[in-house]
Structure 1
Amino acid sequence: MGREFVKSPEISGDGIDMICERLSRMPDLYLPHALATRADPVSQIERKDHLANLLRRDAAVFLERYGKSLNSVELQEFEALQEDYEVNWHLKALKSAMNPSAEEQRSRAATVQNRRLAFMNRLVQDGQYFSEDSMRMRSPLMHYEHVGQFQDPAVRDPGVRPGERFSDTLIRRSEEAYIQERLREERVAAGIPVEEPAEDRNRIDEESEFEEEYDTESEDEEQMAQAEQPTRENPTDSRASHPGEAQGHASEDGRPGETSGEEPPHTSEGMSGEETTSGSQYLSHAELADKMEDFTRLMQEKFLSGMDSEHVDYGHIDNNAALDDDWMPEITRDAEEKYFEED
């Protein structure tokens, strides 16, 4: 008797055609270097032929490259090949990702959090992402509520700073204008009455760089005109137009109670009182440091919870196994300590 020939299991032709037909129409389909760099565009038929040839030749490599793009019905076609160790390993991993158990979900969530924490620690060490300027740019309202309203407005002075290039000044002013617009939008969205923050009330008008110089020149001209006025006008008229001066001359005539020493309260004292009152809302450096620490902690919690998707790619972070190297030694050490404690 001759040896009985046992046909190796394989995916049906209809199954291969169904899988490759759908995948070949995907716009972002991965293609090997020879096809991807070809001068002529790759047709849909050529893409389908490439997929079918790879699937028949090496199903494990096919699952490794395109398994995440398959649906549950298409994965069922690979059940015929589950005796192949590599194919079976990919099938289990793909099915687990598609329909994870409660334990797998908990394990996956822990892994994701550890990877985000590892990535965040790298950002902290870099010093840029969690700097005050960067965090304020991302969350203007949160910064204002926790830190900005307690800061001296001079910190955000848009004026030219010593040694700063003019281009850097323009960039800084543009960024400040963007932040203020975002702040207003976030206040409106949160239902908070929109009112000019202290830092806006005191900052220089960015639309005219010469307005301050013009005002200064006008004040100088007015002071010069007042200094020259007594020499041009009649002294009697001058005294009549300035009651304070008339009282001073009356005291020279010996009238009691009208001496030149009795001056009205100086206006600078009133200004000083106002400045002290308005300045009382600003905190000291030590108090601001505490506020800044709280704000940074909230921003880091926001990052870990996945609310920074506008600025970072969480998909890349959560699936980056290389980040496990940052926290795996700590997990191993904790497991060892727990083992010896139980022992």
Structure 2
Amino acid sequence: MRIEPEKFLFANLQSWFVPYKSLHSAPEMWGEIDSCIEPASPAPCEPHSAGTEDEDEMDQHASEPSNPTAHIQDKCSSTLDAMISAIVVSGSPVKSQQLGEPDLTVEEKKQLLMEQYNTKPVVFLERYHTHLKPEHMEAFSHVSSDCRTQYYCTEVQKQASSSANKTRVRNHRFAALRALQKEGQYFSEEQMRFREPLLYEQYIGQYLSEEEILQRSEEAMQKGPTGLSDLLINSYQEKELQKRLQEEQDREYCADQEEEDDEEEPTHADWEPTTEEKALLREEFLSQMHQRFLEGKDKDFNYSEVDENPDYDNLDILSRDAEEKYFDGEEDEEEEEEDDDVM
């Protein structure tokens, strides 16, 4: 019996294509038949087909054009509200306005900020990140894969750490200030005069009478050692102090000459303060010395023993209320001075 070649070829082709069709009933992405696939066994394709259903579902969600912030707003509405409110309170401009255009209300600002956030969250983060806190970063979780989001979230964390460190250092120094005030020596008039001779001269020294200067010297001798060597040391220190004072006065005079104006400032010969005014000047001098200490301007003081000392953490709680009153008082005085200048 003779077998025709055409029929034999057709029969063999059918045996290959029929299983392949049953295997790949779904549309093929590549359009290429893998020669390694066993045509009679569909088993290797089953895990792939099962997996593609989940992957297709994920791809479908990823490619949906719906606004991804809708879910975030429902989940993190409190975070969003807190973030928007923080930006509004900061006073940061949220919109370019023309001269004479009325200021935006709080609600208008919040609405504009929310629109900016919904439209371009990454640009929103870039623009307002300096006013945000780490707890606000949850609102940008849906764009966390963006390298810009990662960068500015890191910046917000650094900013918060820096702010916390500044607060801790300030609390430590204020606790140390209270301890030094109680000890009495560091903020004594003589010690402060030695640290800042020009400042002392401006607020106190130039208004002292001869009797007060003599009394100051006697008090310094009574408080300190009375040996001959100590007297010589005190005399040497006084000469050095006067030398420093003269040098600082010369520098200040040269600076004043460069910025000289038509009006002459009142001098010691022009104005003699009353007893009450002298007391106010003394208080102002003491306040300035306290402020210099808190700002780290006392050159001979080892601030590392305070700033990095955990022992002062226990004093922070006790000192916090006093610290707030102290700085609030300073702010009130500054506001009063500004009002007086305006009047």
Instruction: Provide TM-score, normalisation by structure 1.
Output: 0.38
Instruction: Provide TM-score, normalisation by structure 2.
Output: 0.38
Q: Greater relative contact order: 1 or 2 (C-alpha under 8 angstroms, separation 6 or more)?
A: 1
Q: Which one has the largest radius of gyration? A: 2
